């Protein structure tokens, strides 16, 4: 029996375009299993990194193992970046919406705006750290 997608690609696009009042309570790492949570995180937090992973992907598993080290660096610097972890296994339309070709993939948002110039794929903690720093330096829009 095939898994039923939680939302279609079109529904995810519609949700992202809507302004939805959601609670602003998110952990520094939020596991995203539906488009509403994804939208709420992106719209309610200034700096967001979506981590698009796959359960079958070795580099995705390594990313999850190594992420606490990066979070420790961010907390020491007293910066506020929120990470949304989304499995494309559970939310396949997200892979289409964000044009995921490889996992893990990283999508960066500041004030709800996606910054494609920071986007990348593959396991590279140094690059993830560098892109997080770049995200923090972006001017407010």
Higher pLDDT, 21 or 93: 93
Residue 95 Cα distances to 23, 35, 51, 102, angstroms: 25, 12, 11, 10
Q: Would you call 55 helix, strand, or coil by DSSP?
A: coil
| DSSP string for 73-116 | HHHHTT---EEEEEETTT-HHHHHHTT--SSSEEEEEETTEE-G
Does 3 reside within a domain?
A: no
pTM (two decimals): 0.80
What DSSP state is assigned to residue 51? E
In tens, the pLDDT along 62-111 reads: 998 888 888 887 776 667 899 999 999 888 888 898 999 999 999 999 99
Residue 30 Cα distances to 39, 41, 72, 117, 138, angstroms: 12, 8, 16, 23, 23
**Which CATH number belongs to the domain containing residue 87 in this structure?**
3.40.30.10
Which domain range does residue 83 map to?
9-17+26-136
pLDDT of 19 reads 45
Least confident interval from 7-11, 80-84, 110-114: 7-11
Total domains, the chain: 1
The percentage of the chain sitting over the pLDDT mark of 70, rounded to a whole number, equals 79
Does 4 reside within a domain?
A: no
Residue 133 Cα distances to 10, 22, 56, 66, 70, angstroms: 32, 27, 29, 17, 11
12 confidence band (pLDDT: 50, 70, 90)? very low
């Amino acid at each position: 029996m095939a898994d039923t997608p939680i939302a279609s690609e079109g529904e995810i696009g519609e949700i992202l375009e809507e302004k939805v009042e959601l609670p602003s309570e998110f952990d520094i790492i939020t596991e995203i299993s539906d488009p509403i949570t994804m939208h709420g995180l992106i719209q309610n937090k200034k700096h967001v990194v979506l981590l698009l992973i796959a359960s079958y992907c070795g580099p995705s598993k390594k990313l999850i193992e190594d992420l606490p080290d990066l979070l420790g660096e961010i907390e020491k610097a007293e910066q506020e970046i929120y990470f949304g972890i989304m499995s494309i296994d559970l939310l396949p339309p997200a892979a289409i919406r964000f044009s995921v070709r490889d996992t893990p993939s990283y999508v960066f948002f500041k004030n709800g705006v996606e910054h494609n110039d920071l986007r990348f794929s593959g396991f590279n903690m140094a690059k993830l750290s560098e892109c997080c720093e770049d995200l923090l330096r972006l001017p407010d829009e």
